[in-house]
Amino acid sequence: MQDTVIALLKAGPAGEETRASDDLREHGDDRVGRALRSGKGCKDGVRLRPGESHILNPEAALGYKGISMNPRRFAPLLLVMALLATGGALAQDKGSVNPRPLPPLANPNDPDVAAKELFARKLLPSKGPAHVIGSYTRGCIGGAEQIPVNGDHWQLMRLSRNRSYGHPDMIALIKRLAARAHRDAGWPGILVGDIAQPRGGPALSGHASHQIGLDADIWLTPMPDRRLSREEREDMSAVMMVRQDRLDVDPKVFTASHVLVLRDAAREPAVQRIFVNAAIKKALCREAKGDRAWLSKIRPWWGHDYHFHIRMRCPAGAGECEGQPSQAEDEGCKPADLAYWFSDAVLHPKPPPEPPKPKPPMTLAQMPAACKAVLHAGDAKP
């Protein structure tokens, strides 16, 4: 899917450098961000203006202020965004109680082997202290910590995916959030989705990010007041929070308690961004009371209608971690901030006349050099 996105972006002359693609680059693929920042994807060569670090509306997403939004003009880019949304949906796929191990690679030292094939075959973290290398979409983590399957106020979902590893700071944050969801929102607890693979890196399915142990998906479905079976953890589907017309949340399932859980997550100082569906952002803007400063961390994004995605800043002293620029501190709740997300061109993008050609997947050589050492390091003790 990521390769399809890249192929769609190959159009038009270059424009000025901009940070408007930071959320896209760090939630999708590095090459997507580079293509956007260079102006590709805009057939008529509309130039992007520098200085914006987040995507909230048509101006911010496609060049900041002063650019008219003609849906036909930006059709290729809008389709790219829609395709990126489908990647998050894969996290809703059902798992298996008895997952089959991946077969050995015929030649794992072949430089053309996809990095995702190598990292997916590492079943344990590397030994040694935790250290983050690279960016959210092109990196790895050494010495990752695994969150327990069950806690006082959390349960881990989709165990067969083996994506329950993260930086110790992320694991600690999830545990705190679980306790606060119980205390503040009255939930029995939270259901934890994907964090990262044992050594991070690209995955075989689902995400382009979640590579350095600083991303985590939390279901918007409250944890049941009982212990889920292994079968339920693999088969249970999260509840859709957005109305069928995609214009607002479903009030029958999205409640005031969800606002409190998202608020508690956003108020964590180490959290930089939280990705949710635009309809959920709209609801939070409408329902948040009192101190609303935390709303600046809530970022509208494609998909994310049954879970929210927490992203932490690089830990202090993590010199090899490549973080994102800080986003604007405004709430992002003005009508102009959200209008783009509810436009017909975004909600119903038209497919291209010809299917784009896929590109080769990322190889180990295209990742930070230190990830090779993480990949080949000895296993930590289970």
Answer whether 322's CB lies under 8 Å from 140's CB: no
Q: Tell me, what DSSP letter sits at residue 45? A: -
Residues 53-72 have pLDDT tens digits of 333 433 333 322 233 344 44
Query: Strands 154-156, 190-192: parallel, antiparallel or unpaired by DSSP?
Result: parallel
What residue type is 280 in one-letter code? I
Q: What is the pLDDT of residue 24?
A: 57
* pLDDT value of residue 207: 85
Q: What CATH number is given for 127-323 in this structure?
A: 3.30.1380.10
- Token readout for 142 is 């050494």
Burial letters for 153-172: b for 16+ Cβ neighbours within 10 Å, e otherwise?
bbbbbbbebbbbbbbebbbe
Joined together, the tokens standing for residue 146 give 């695994």
Which amino acid makes up residue 128?
G
Distances (CA, A) of 9 to 23, 27, 38, 70: 16, 16, 10, 17
The confidence score (pLDDT) of residue 43 equals 30
How far is Cα 325 from Cα 19, in angstroms, rounded to an integer? 8
What was the pLDDT predicted at 352? 86
CA–CA separation, 50 vs 107, rounded Å?
Answer: 44
Spell out the domain ranges in the chain. Answer: 127-323
Q: What are phi and psi of 303, to 5 degrees?
A: 70, -135
Give the other-Cβ count within 10 Å of 82's Cβ. 19
Give the pLDDT score at 273: 96
Task: Please identify every stretch of the chain with a pLDDT value under 70, giving residue numbers as ranges.
Answer: 1-91
pLDDT at 55: 36
Q: What global pTM score does this model have?
A: 0.82
pLDDT (0 to 100) of residue 54: 33
